[in-house]
Chains A and B, each alone.
Chain A
Amino acid sequence: MEIKNLTTSFRIGEEYYAAVDDVSLNLQENEVLAIVGESGSGKSATAFSLMGLHNRAKIEGEILFKGRDIANLSTSKMNKIRGNEISMIFQDPLTALNPLMEVGKQIGEVLLLHKKDMSKQERRDYSIELLERVGLPRPERVVDQFPHELSGGMRQRVIIAIAIANKPELLIADEPTTALDVTIQAQILDLMRELKDDLNSGVILITHDLGVVAEMADRVAVMYAGEIVEIADVESLFVNPQHPYTRSLLSSVPATDFAQDRLHVIQGIVPSLKNLPREGCRFKERIPWIEDAAHEDDPQLHEISENHYVRCTCYQHFYFPEESKEEQTNGVTES
């Protein structure tokens, strides 16, 4: 899987605005690539572009899947791929299942669409097998139940069962644990990792939860305002974050091993799609204490070590503003 210069634009009024801007990524077999960023950073828009699920978006660039460009593929051709070779796990298990269809029928549907030779009974048996595989107790009962009879965690398992039904080579998980409570989150992550190893499939994990990233990912791409600002192996990113945005994100995660008075807060908000800065460093406005000269005019990804890329030269000059710097050192000494 390789994404080259993907740009996804939405029309607002008369003009197109890019929510995903010139993103290039690649993914190996059995690799977990996490895409992190705040809401509005373009991570979900990237995932939806890969699935061809955008309704009225202009998609430019290439999405090479098994050597074939699937960007802008016709819906009928895309329908042969999605749910089959590429499948998706959704954010909210409470709304992602059809309330009027039995669980078994919803799993059966994805089999019906891609495995035409399966009989009704075979589909049912296989659905039960899948439910068992994703760790649901009494699958032969669950298969005839309706979504409202299941808990959130159980429903997410059903959604995962649908996603893995046809043994996909690429699994896209769009914030798969956001809507679940913490104990269930861990179970779901374990399950996903297990299944990924079994199926030997690549996973693109969309999340804003850095804990999930640390647990699951092999590589991490950090997105801000539609661009990738840093991409690195998971260890180097956590140990040696470079881009100001990555560093700010990491320092805004509450630590449990020492007391912090205040959490770091990134100033400002992600600009809306219409107001995205299109020139220069897009993160510039949110770190106003860094002098202008530190930024590049046309920020590029720089390879700072093997497989570790950072956009814009401002990372070399970045420091946290005084008070938050103090708090951080205070926090460390207190521990």
Chain B
Amino acid sequence: MWKFIVRRLIITMPQLILLSLIVFILASMMPGDALTGQIDPNISSEAIEEQREKLGWNNPWYVQYSDWVVGVAQGDFGQSYRFKMPVTDLIWDRMINTFWLSLISVFFIYALGIPMGIISGRWNDKLVDQIITGYTYLGFATPIFIFALVTLWVFGFHLGWFPTGGSVAPGLESGSMEYILSKIHHLLLPGLSIALIGLVGTVQYLRSEIVDTKQKDFIITARAKGAPEQRVYNRHIFRNSVLPIAAFFGYEITMLISGSIFVEQIYSYPGMGALFLESIVLRDYSVVTALVLLFGLAAILGALLSDIILSIVDPRIRIK
């Protein structure tokens, strides 16, 4: 198992290098840079050009790239041109915010999605299933950015139950009870918005797995043993149906750091998704490349995690 994990991580390296190269080239192909646009018009173009030269932006892309790689190898992702702080510090703050938001979303996805899937699968084609399936179709069809806007408008703006932006109310002492409660209060609405749309896949997957497993021969065996229905469902049907959901959990973890671009933007929640969008708009290349690299790493680790989880829950799959 450990051998497998190490080998998988080593295989990851070329993937990451290729990813960084592509991102770097794409970023430098974007028109403009951090010194175009919103900059004091009194500064002469010579001074700007001098800055560019000083920052090494006039070098060919491969020189820039190798400079960057040397930096990354030393743990230095450069400076954010916009926030005037090291990229690592900037990302770290945002990542913690996104982590909490994603954690609460993933929690709601499973806490709501799994019971819905079970009910829907167990009583398939009954009224309760039709209601749940109807909801999932609606969920599939609703873009998250529309849904998040509507929840923000209804519950945040009109009803005023939840704050409409930020990650914590200003002026609270970090670490105090009020501070934590305020954080949770800020997380609930965006978290629920993500979950209510994000859970439809889980519900549909679980439902069809349960409907499928119900027909299997070993379920008849279980009934023929004299197992009561509740036991047949809990021990035999559910356990066999939840495998793909468990495997998918690894990919959900990816979301924990990459965050939700739309929802963070709409709720002006200072997370990774929002940071990514802002950095692209403001041509903050060092942040963009660092983020893409991080997202790529997260996706690769998520896939690895999925494989490991699946090998733990399904005895037929063993990693050698």
Contacts and interface: CB of A to CB of B under 8 A. Distances in A.
Interface stretch (B30-38, B214-222, B267-275): B214-222
A66 B93 CA distance: 74
B227 interface: yes
A99 B217 contact: no
Contacts of A81: 226
A143 to B, nearest CB: 14
A141 interface: no
Contact of B226 (A84, A96, A146, A148): A84
Interface residues of B, number: 22
Contact of B236 (A84, A95, A98): A98
B221 A97 contact: yes
B220 A96 contact: yes
A53 B221 CA distance: 10
Given A76-B228, A90-B217, A98 B240 contact: yes
B225 interface: yes
Nearest to B214: A55
A107 B227 CA distance: 12
B315 interface: yes
A162 B217 contact: no
Interface centre among A51, A88, A99 (most CB of B within 10 A): A99
B221 A79 contact: no
A124 B295 CA distance: 48
B46 interface: no
A284 interface: no
What is the interface of chain B mostly: helix, strand, loop, or mixed?
Answer: helix
Interface of A: 51, 53, 75-76, 78-84, 87-88, 90, 92, 95-101, 109-110, 113-114, 146, 148, 159, 162
Interface in B234-250: 235-236, 239-240
Contacts of B235: 101, 109
Nearest to B220: A53
B125 interface: no
A209 to B, nearest CB: 20
B227 A159 contact: no
A148 B315 contact: yes
B218 A96 contact: yes
B245 to A, nearest CB: 14
B229 interface: yes
A98 B228 contact: no
A89 B7 CA distance: 45
A113 B226 contact: yes
A208 B242 CA distance: 37
Contacts of A87: 224-225
A169 B33 CA distance: 85
Given A79-B227, A87-B224, A146 B217 contact: no
A110 to B, nearest CB: 4
A82 B232 CA distance: 14
B314 interface: yes
A110 B227 CA distance: 8
Contact of A113 (B221, B225, B314, B316): B225
A100 B224 contact: no
B82 interface: no
Contact of B224 (A82, A99, A101): A82
Given A92-B217, A100-B314, A146-B316, A109 B225 contact: yes
A82 B316 contact: no
Contact of A90 (B221, B227, B314, B316): B221
Nearest to A80: B226
Given A76-B228, A162-B225, 16 more contacts: A51-B224, A80-B226, A81-B226, A82-B223, A83-B225, A83-B226, A87-B225, A90-B221, A98-B221, A98-B222, A98-B240, A100-B239, A100-B240, A109-B222, A109-B235, A159-B221
B220 A99 contact: no
Contact of A162 (B220, B221, B315): B221
A99 B316 contact: yes
Given A92-B217, A146-B316, A99 B227 contact: no
B224 A53 contact: yes
